[in-house]
């Protein structure tokens, strides 16, 4: 009964937020001049959902909703991409396979989903990964890595490493693997690259990071500056992500890669939204990577909020992002082959 009540509270919060955003837009215009109606209302709904489901009384309801979440692929991808349930590195996983088009994939993507290390699953990111696979002419594995607070740092890093080792054990050539992730999955992707380097494993061709979450201490100035434009549930007082960290040092490089020595990492493709709260996480990561002579390509979509490619599939900014991904994957895989 408590979970049902929590679900109703979350849904009510989302509905009221969307109605309020629609009324404000009609009276005052868009929050950001470049936002269309979908962007405006999607941001309002996401923020209400994030804030309501982060409340302790509603967390069980969110877990229940995510456990039951099993979306179909978009109509234009059905019959073009298939999703299979498998195991990877000892964990459940989803495998995305293109079944029409080019006979040979350019690469295999190891995709690490976002969710602040406490939420998310392969199912929550199924539609976006399928779109990424289709546009980049790749296949993908999405492991269901362990989440906090039941499994704290470095459980997610351990699972990501196990997934990578399993891929290599299946005779997937490392130079044809691209690690990718969004938000916490983006930070986890960098942590995985550091583990690969430090364990002397053969490196992947590179990594694609969408709005990477790289500072679990939340020290970036854009958290406050972009608060009214984004949907992340970071409100005053802004505290470190102790649900994942536990007693670990928030400066640990595998938890907050902005504190890592990034020397020797493979090429990075980093995307960030100019209106997102953790924009500074991307900016500082890119600066450290360039200081370490890492090959970095950095794109900022000025009007976008956090992880927009997964949330606004029809937006021109998403089309631009996926086009850049496709070109970059082809380049780094050819270079490393």
Radius of gyration over every alpha carbon of the chain, rounded to an integer in angstroms: 19
Report pLDDT digits (tens) over 28-48.
999 999 999 999 999 999 999
Give yes or no: 259 in active site. no
CB 282 within 8 A of CB 275: no
pLDDT at 186: 98
State the chain's mean pLDDT as an integer: 94
pLDDT at 106: 87
CB 48 within 8 A of CB 17: yes
Q: Catalytic: which of 53, 183, 211, 256? A: 183
Report pLDDT digits (tens) over 308-331.
999 999 999 999 999 999 999 999
Helices and strands, counts by H and E, the chain:
11, 8
CB 176 within 8 A of CB 333: yes
Q: Catalytic: which of 276, 282, 301, 315? A: 276
Q: Tell me what percent of the residues of the chain surpass a pLDDT of 70.
A: 97
Extract the tokens encoding 222. 């854009």
pLDDT at 253: 98
Give yes or no: 315 in active site. no
Topology adopted by domain 76-336: Rossmann fold (3.40.50)
Query: Average pLDDT for residues 295-316, to the nearest whole number?
Result: 98
Report pLDDT digits (tens) over 81-135.
999 999 999 999 999 999 877 657 889 999 999 999 999 999 999 999 999 999 9
CB 276 within 8 A of CB 230: yes
What residue spans define the domains of the chain?
2-66, 76-336
Q: Catalytic: which of 96, 113, 306, 315? A: 306
Report pLDDT digits (tens) over 219-258.
999 999 999 999 998 877 789 999 999 999 999 999 999 9
Give yes or no: 282 in active site. no
What length is written for the chain?
Answer: 337
More confident residue, 336 or 12: 12
Q: Give me the phi and psi of 100, to 5 degrees please.
A: -135, 165
Nearby residues of 136 by Cβ (< 8 Å), 6 or more positions away: 106, 107, 109, 322, 325, 326, 329
């Amino acid at each position: 009964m408590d979970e049902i009540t929590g679900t109703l509270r979350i849904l009510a919060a989302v509905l009221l937020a969307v109605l309020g955003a629609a009324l404000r837009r009609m009276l005052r215009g868009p929050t950001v001049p470049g936002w269309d109606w979908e962007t405006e209302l999607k941001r309002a709904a996401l923020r209400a959902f994030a804030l309501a489901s982060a409340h302790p009384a509603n967390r069980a309801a969110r877990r229940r909703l995510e456990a039951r979440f099993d979306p179909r692929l978009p109509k234009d991808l059905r019959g073009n991409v298939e999703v299979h349930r498998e195991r990877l590195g000892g964990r459940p996983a989803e495998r995305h396979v293109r079944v029409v088009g080019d006979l040979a994939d350019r690469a295999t993507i190891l995709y690490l989903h976002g969710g602040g290390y406490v939420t998310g699953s392969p199912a929550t990111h199924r539609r976006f990964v399928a779109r990424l696979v289709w546009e980049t002419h790749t296949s993908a594995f999405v492991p269901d890595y362990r989440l906090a607070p039941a499994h704290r740092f470095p459980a997610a890093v351990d699972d990501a490493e196990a997934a990578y080792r399993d891929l290599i054990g299946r005779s997937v050539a490392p130079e044809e693997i691209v690690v990718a992730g969004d938000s916490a999955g983006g930070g986890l992707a960098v942590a995985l690259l550091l583990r690969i380097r430090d364990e002397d494993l053969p490196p992947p061709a590179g990594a694609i990071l969408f709005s990477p979450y790289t500072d679990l201490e939340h020290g970036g100035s854009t958290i406050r500056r972009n608060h009214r434009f984004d949907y992340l549930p970071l409100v005053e007082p802004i505290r470190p992500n102790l649900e994942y960290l536990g007693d670990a040092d928030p400066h640990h490089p595998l938890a907050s890669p902005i504190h890592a020595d990034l020397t020797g990492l493979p090429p990075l493709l980093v995307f960030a939204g100019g209106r997102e709260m953790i924009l500074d996480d991307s900016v500082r990561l890119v600066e450290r990577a360039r200081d370490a002579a890492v090959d970095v390509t950095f794109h900022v979509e000025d009007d976008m909020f956090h992880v927009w490619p997964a949330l606004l599939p029809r937006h021109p900014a998403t089309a631009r992002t996926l086009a850049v991904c496709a070109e970059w994957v082809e380049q780094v895989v050819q270079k490393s082959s």
